Amino acid sequence: MNFYLGNNFLNFEKEKPEQGYFLSGKDSFQKVLAKYGNQYEFQLLNEFNNRTRDGEKVIQFFHFNKPALIKTLQFEEIITEGD
């Protein structure tokens, strides 16, 4: 990530992005799946040993996206609410 080139971290809960990348501790990711596993698909791209010893021992790097069915259902909810 390079903040100077515009690769900023966003608040996942507030922004609810369609797709992107996600860093998490290996143990903490189970909480993410419990909360967002029915809204997003996560693909593990790589995992790294945390050499700093701050936080969890293993850091995981994921790509995520909202499945097409969920996008369609959300769009239909918006239209229904607008009637």
Residue-wise pLDDT for 57-76, tens only, equals: 899 999 999 887 555 555 55
Torsion angles phi and psi, residue 39, rounded to 5: -110, -25
pLDDT at 5 over 90: no
Instruction: Give me the pLDDT at residue 34, please.
Output: 93
Sequence letter at residue 48: F
CA pair distance 10, 4, nearest whole angstrom: 15
Return d(Cα 75, Cα 5) in angstroms, integer.
32
- Closest to 17 measured CA to CA, from 63, 82, 61: 63
Task: Write the pLDDT tens digit of every residue in 33-64.
Answer: 999 999 999 999 999 998 877 788 899 999 99
**How buried is residue 76: exposed, middle or buried, by Cβ count under 10 Å (0-12/13-18/19+)?**
exposed
